[in-house]
Amino acid sequence: MHHHLSLFSLATSCLVVLTAGVPLMPGEPIPNEPRAPQICRNPPKRLEWRQMSQSQQKSYIDAVMCLTMTESKSGIARAINRFDDHQAVHSVQTPNIHWVVSIPFIRPLVDHLGYLRTFANTLQGHFILWHRYLVATYETALREECGYEGGQPYWDWSLDANPHEPNSMAAFSTDVLGPGRYSFGGNGDFVAPTPEQNPLNLTGGTGGGCVRDGAFTPDRFRVNYGPDPGCLKRDFTPWVLNSFADPARVQEVLDQPDYASFARTIEKVPTFDAPNIHGGGHFGVGGVLGTIGNAENSPGDPLFYLHHGNLDRVLWMWQQKDPETRLNQVGGPVVPMDYGGQNVTLDFTVNLGELAGDATLKQLLDTQSGVLCYTY
Ligand SMILES: [Cu+2]
C-alpha cells in the first residue's frame, strides 16, 4: 500500500510554514516543519568500503536489502519501498521542475546540454549540501529502520583511477564492484546505445545491460522508480572514471579558496571536456545506459550512496582545513549556472519532501549539527 498526502495535511503544513514566516520560492514544494533540534552523540564513523570488515559489509548490504522490503512513506507515486523513496525524492527535485519552467533563459541551455537535466540540484550553490542531506537521511533510515549500526560507507574512486591509462578496466575490478554476494557487482552486458539514448554522444561505454553478479542481481533487486524500471544496469566507461576520478582532480577541489569555488569545481561545466569528480562516479560507472548515469534516477543504483558519500567526504576534508570559516560559509547560484546572479545564503532552506524535516544550509555545513550526526 502507498501512503498518500491528504489535502488536509498539505493545507496544514502550508499553514505551519506561513505562520513561521519562511519565504516560499515560486514553484518550490511545500516545506515540512523543521526537524526538532537534537544533540549529536556518538556520531557513526564513515569508512571506505574496503576498510570495512566482511561482517560490516554484510550488515550494510543486508540493511539496504531491508530498505527495499520496507514500505514507502514518501507519498510519491510509484515509489514502492524505502529504497525507492530516496531515489524518488532525488528525481522529483530536478532543476527543470524547480526553475527551468519559470526562467526562460535557462530553457535553451538545458535543452542544448541535456546534462543539466541529469542531476537533482546540480550546478547550484546548494548542490553538495542537498546531497549531503540525502545521503545522511538514507544512512539514518538504514540505522533506524533496518538495524544497521555503522556509518554510510564511501567509495574512494581516486584510489582506483589511473589517469595514465585511460582505457584500463582495473578501477572496476576491485572489491567495491566485485562479484561476491556482499559487493556491488560489476558491469552489464554490452548494449550499443541508440543516438536518442545518447544525446551527449558519450563514447567508450563497455556495458549497458543488467548487472549479473554481486548483491543486486535481478533475482534479488529491482529498480522500481523512474522511466526504466527493471534490473540494475551498469555501463562502465573507463576513460571517464580514469580521468575524472584522478587524484589530481580531487586535489584541485581541495585547493579551492572558498565554498562557491569549491562547489563549482566539484561539478565544473556540463560537458565531458571538463573532467570533474562528480561526473566520474556517475558516468564512469553508469555511462550512457547505466542506472547511476541516468537522468534523475541515479540513486536507483545502491552505489550512488557510496559515490556521493565520497564527494561528501571531500567536502568534509576541505572544511577541516579551516573549520572556523568553512563551517559558516556557503555560496554559488540559486539558479543552475547563474553565476553572477542571486547566491544561496546560510539560511537558504532545502527539503527532502516527506523523508526528513527541512534544513538550512547552515545546519548542513556541520556533520554533527544535530540535524546531521556522523563523522569520517
Ligand atoms: Cu550526483
pLDDT value of residue 224: 98
Is the pLDDT higher at 101 or at 52? 52
What pLDDT is attached to residue 31? Answer: 58
Residue 21 pLDDT greater than 50, yes or no: no
pLDDT at 33: 60
Q: Measured between alpha carbons, how far is 125 from 266 in angstroms, rounded to an integer?
A: 11
Distance 18 CA to ligand 1 centre (A): 32
Q: How are beta strands 359-360 and 188-190 bridged, if at all?
A: unpaired
Q: Which letter does DSSP use for residue 20 in this model?
A: H
Length of the chain (residues): 376
At 212, phi and psi to the nearest 5? Answer: -105, -5
Question: What is the pLDDT confidence band of residue 200, given thresholds at 50, 70 and 90?
Answer: confident
Task: Look at residue 294 in the predicted model and tell me its pLDDT.
Answer: 81
CA–CA distance, 352 with 86 (Å, rounded to integer):
9
- The span from the CA of 184 to the CA of 175, in Å, is 8
In this prediction, residues 113-122 reach a mean pLDDT of 51
CB 223 within 8 A of CB 91: no
Which residues, in sequence order, are CB contacts of 346 under 8 Å at separation 6+? 328, 330, 360, 361, 362, 365
Residues with CB under 5 A from ligand 1 (ion): 119
Average pLDDT score over the chain:
86
How high is the pLDDT of residue 295?
Answer: 63
Q: Ligand 1 centroid vs 291 CA: distance in angstroms?
A: 12
Give 11 Cα–ligand 1 centroid separation in angstroms: 32
Query: 70 CA distance to ligand 1 centroid (A)?
Result: 25
Q: Which of 335, 240, 243 is nearest to 25 (CA)?
A: 335
Q: Are strands 208-211 and 188-190 parallel, antiparallel or unpaired?
A: antiparallel
Distance 119 CA to ligand 1 centre (A): 6
Residue 94 above 90 pLDDT?
Answer: no
Mean pLDDT calculated for residue range 239-246: 98
Distance 181 CA to ligand 1 centre (A): 26
The whole-model pTM stands at: 0.86
Q: How close is the Cα of 263 to the center of ligand 1, in Å?
A: 13
Q: From the DSSP assignment, how many helices (H) and strands (E) are in the chain? A: 13, 4
Distances, alpha carbon 185 to alpha carbons 81, 180, 188, 218, in Å: 22, 7, 9, 12
Compute the Cα dihedral for 97, 104, 331, 311 and give only its sign. positive
Rounded-to-integer distance, Cα 130 and Cα 74, Å: 17
128 CA distance to ligand 1 centroid (A)? Answer: 9
The overall longest dimension of the chain from CA atoms, in Å, is 59
Task: Quickly state the pLDDT bin for 107 (edges 50, 70, 90).
Answer: very low
In tens, the pLDDT along 286-326 reads 999 999 998 689 999 999 999 999 999 999 999 999 999 99
Cα–ligand 1 centroid distance for 282 (angstroms) = 7
Query: Is residue 59's pLDDT more than 60?
Result: yes
374 Cα–ligand 1 center, Å: 20
Q: What is the pLDDT of residue 311?
A: 98
What cell was used for 6? 491528504
